[in-house]
């Protein structure tokens, strides 16, 4: 993390594009905002675009804007996010979710600093710093075709990799203390106004901290933050231990609004990842965490299994509580001797 901080400060001092890669919940958004705050364009706007959250058929108008009369319903000119980021920072969260035609238009913007709104006849010049993130490794997004390689060359002048929490558990005491300080005062004031009991003042016990060090943290910093808030609200460390041992989904669908506001592709990807995680956990438990036997049962290579374990945040061997499979998968699962 010290090396990452040093690279971040060096990158922030310039206006070159920066690509931040790391798992969900590791704080990529926070790093992007920090780069903007320390950059020469800190006085400009920080314009965030969540690429998975905006449907593909609307993304072009959101990014590039449109001219009056460009299509039915375009009764006025509308500036896009790119134009709004002029003299500031355009932050493309999960850039690999952009459709290929939009990636091509974005490449033109990075090359020439120009773009055309939908229905516009003239190109507009814009001076905006570009920051982007992806929750997958660079090699994976390029190999899968999700990200154009020529766009990668432009967007990744500097690449920052944020390690998952399970690879930096020595930072847990500092992170826990930080979140305790952040939320204790707020929750304490709310409790006082309602006449509720005071919140715990002490640091977590050594046994709870030990359990946290042995946890895989599939949700990374975001999951830790939620656990600390839960502890402060309920005032009992058992809620933390329960959260660590419950086998809670790494990609919970209940966090997504299933009302059409989130693209089907995002919901499907999250569901597939959660099913994969449950199946791998069940098979690993069946084989007493013998990963070679588990790979054979799953009919994938040993190397592929190791990659999946890292990608999905499958817990370490010390947590061998089986995660129940969905009913249909239980019926289809074949146990090998």
Both 49 and 86 in a single domain? yes
- Tell me if residue 134 falls in helix, strand or coil: strand
Both 149 and 206 in a single domain? no
Per-residue confidence (pLDDT) for residue 252, from 0 to 100 = 54
Both 157 and 232 in a single domain? no
Per-residue confidence (pLDDT) for residue 336, from 0 to 100 = 42
Residue 17: inside a domain, yes or no? yes
Q: What is the pTM of this model?
A: 0.69
Say how far apart CA 337 and CA 327 lie, in whole Å: 22
Residue 132: inside a domain, yes or no? yes
Both 150 and 20 in a single domain? yes
Say how far apart CA 84 and CA 233 lie, in whole Å: 40
Q: Which of 245, 265, 298 is the last residue of a domain?
A: 245
Residue pLDDT, tens place only, 40-88: 999 999 999 999 888 877 898 899 988 887 777 777 888 899 999 999 9
Per-residue confidence (pLDDT) for residue 330, from 0 to 100 = 41
Per-residue confidence (pLDDT) for residue 323, from 0 to 100 = 42
How many other C-beta atoms are found inside a 10 Å radius of the C-beta of residue 328? 8
User: Hey, what's the torsion of the CAs at 228, 230, 236, 242, to 10 degrees?
Assistant: -90
Residue 11: inside a domain, yes or no? yes
Instruction: Report the CATH number at residue 120.
Output: 3.40.50.300
Q: Which of 245, 268, 297 is the last residue of a domain?
A: 245
Per-residue confidence (pLDDT) for residue 270, from 0 to 100 = 74
Q: Into how many domains does the chain fold?
A: 3
User: Hey, what's the torsion of the CAs at 231, 236, 240, 245, to 10 degrees?
Assistant: -150
Q: Which residues of the chain have pLDDT under 50?
A: 194, 196, 248-250, 318-337
Residue 92: inside a domain, yes or no? yes
Residue 208: inside a domain, yes or no? yes
Residue pLDDT, tens place only, 169-178: 999 999 999 9
Residue 152: inside a domain, yes or no? yes
Q: Which of 192, 222, 245 is the last residue of a domain?
A: 245
Per-residue confidence (pLDDT) for residue 200, from 0 to 100 = 56
Instruction: Report the CATH number at residue 285.
Output: 1.10.10
Both 217 and 182 in a single domain? yes
Domain that residue 269 falls in:
253-332
Q: How many alpha carbons fall within 13 Å on the CB side of residue 108? A: 13
| Best CA proximity match to 162, nearest among 29, 293, 50 | 29
Residue 337: inside a domain, yes or no? no
Both 225 and 296 in a single domain? no
| 8-state DSSP, 114 | E
Both 54 and 70 in a single domain? yes
């Amino acid at each position: 993390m010290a090396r990452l901080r040093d690279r971040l400060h060096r990158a922030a001092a310039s206006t070159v594009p920066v690509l931040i890669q790391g798992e969900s919940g590791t704080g990529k958004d926070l790093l992007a905002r920090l780069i903007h705050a320390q950059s020469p364009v800190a006085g400009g706007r920080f314009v965030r675009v969540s690429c998975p959250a905006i449907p593909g058929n609307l993304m072009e108008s959101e990014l590039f804007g449109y001219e009056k009369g460009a299509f039915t319903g375009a009764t006025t000119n509308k500036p896009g996010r790119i134009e709004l980021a002029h003299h500031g920072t355009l932050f493309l969260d999960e850039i690999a979710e952009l459709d290929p035609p939009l990636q091509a238009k974005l490449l033109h913007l990075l090359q020439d600093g120009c773009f055309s709104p939908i229905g516009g006849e003239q190109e507009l010049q814009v001076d905006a710093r570009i920051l982007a993130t992806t929750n997958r490794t660079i090699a994976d997004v390029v190999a899968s075709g999700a990200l154009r390689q020529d766009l990668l060359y432009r967007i990744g002048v500097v690449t920052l990799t944020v390690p998952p929490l399970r690879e930096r558990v020595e930072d847990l005491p500092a992170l826990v203390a930080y979140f305790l300080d952040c939320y204790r005062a707020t929750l304490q004031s709310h409790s006082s106004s309602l006449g509720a009991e005071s919140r715990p003042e002490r640091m977590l016990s050594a046994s709870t901290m030990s359990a946290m060090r042995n946890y895989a943290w599939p949700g990374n910093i975001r999951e830790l933050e939620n656990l600390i808030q839960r502890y402060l609200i309920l005032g009992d460390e058992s809620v933390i231990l329960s959260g660590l041992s419950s086998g809670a989904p790494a990609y919970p669908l209940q966090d997504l609004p299933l009302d059409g506001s989130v693209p089907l592709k995002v919901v499907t990807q999250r569901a597939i990842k959660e099913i994969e995680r449950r199946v791998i956990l069940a098979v690993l438990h069946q084989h007493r965490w013998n990963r070679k036997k588990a790979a054979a049962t799953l009919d994938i290579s040993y190397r592929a299994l190791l990659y999946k374990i890292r990608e999905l945040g499958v817990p370490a061997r010390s947590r061998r509580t089986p995660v129940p499979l969905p009913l249909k998968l239980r019926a289809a699962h074949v146990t090998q001797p």
